[in-house]
A and B are shown apart, each in its own frame.
Chain A
């Protein structure tokens, strides 16, 4: 079945630092790829997505590029803010429209 390996946290950064959260996956076929974010006390929200190889998803300053050759979808942000503190989940979407979630990475950004 599909699986996801996501960089384990917690990750603690200072404001304006550069962020990378690594994500690699195994899946049959060519899945769509997603990053979800869970802010404290809230439900998961879609952060960004990419549906085919070399696509770049972006939102709120975050970016991730669908790398088929390395089966990766690493999340990056050039300058994090305190408000970015949350848990981030990588999730490939399988052929049956189900999502397989990584373990999540807790990000804490200090002022």
Chain B
């Protein structure tokens, strides 16, 4: 149980275009989902916290107009990278919380390459 999927697993896009990444909790309802960014050989950096039906809360330094997050249902959150640039290339990981508490279930991640 407690499986989280991400789609796509890998995407290549051209500079200036937008790309959407989906995060789904497959067998549970997640009131809160988190989006992280992971650079090679580095830790996960929390980008934003997403609650179903409300606006996402972004961490300091994360551009909310560039990284659009929508948590439309209790099983789906999306991250849209708008006007992507090569420096946005990274590994994006989502996680979902079953209920208010600490334990998070992680998706397998999406590798974004912007050319």
Contact = CB atoms under 8 A, between A and B. Distances in A.
Interface of A: 32, 34, 36, 41-46, 49, 89, 93, 97-104
Nearest to A46: B103
A42 B108 contact: yes
Contacts of B95: 44
B15 to A, nearest CB: 28
A89 B44 contact: yes
Contacts of A43: 4, 6, 93, 106-109
B1 interface: no
Contacts of B93: 43-44
Contact of B43 (A32, A45, A97, A102): A102
Contacts of B46: 98-100
A101 B49 contact: no
A89 B41 CA distance: 12
Interface in B79-115: 93, 95, 97, 100-109
B54 interface: no
Given A43-B4, A43-B108, A43-B109, A99 B43 contact: no
Consensus secondary structure, chain B interface:
strand
A104 B43 contact: yes
23 contacts: A34-B102, A34-B103, A43-B6, A43-B107, A43-B108, A43-B109, A44-B44, A44-B95, A44-B106, A45-B106, A46-B103, A46-B104, A49-B102, A49-B103, A97-B97, A97-B100, A97-B102, A98-B46, A98-B49, A101-B44, A103-B43, A104-B41, A104-B43
Contacts of B102: 32, 34, 49, 93, 97, 99
Give the top 5 A-B pairs by smallest Cβ distance, nearest first.
A93-B102, A44-B106, A43-B106, A43-B108, A103-B43
A31 B95 CA distance: 19
Contacts of A100: 46
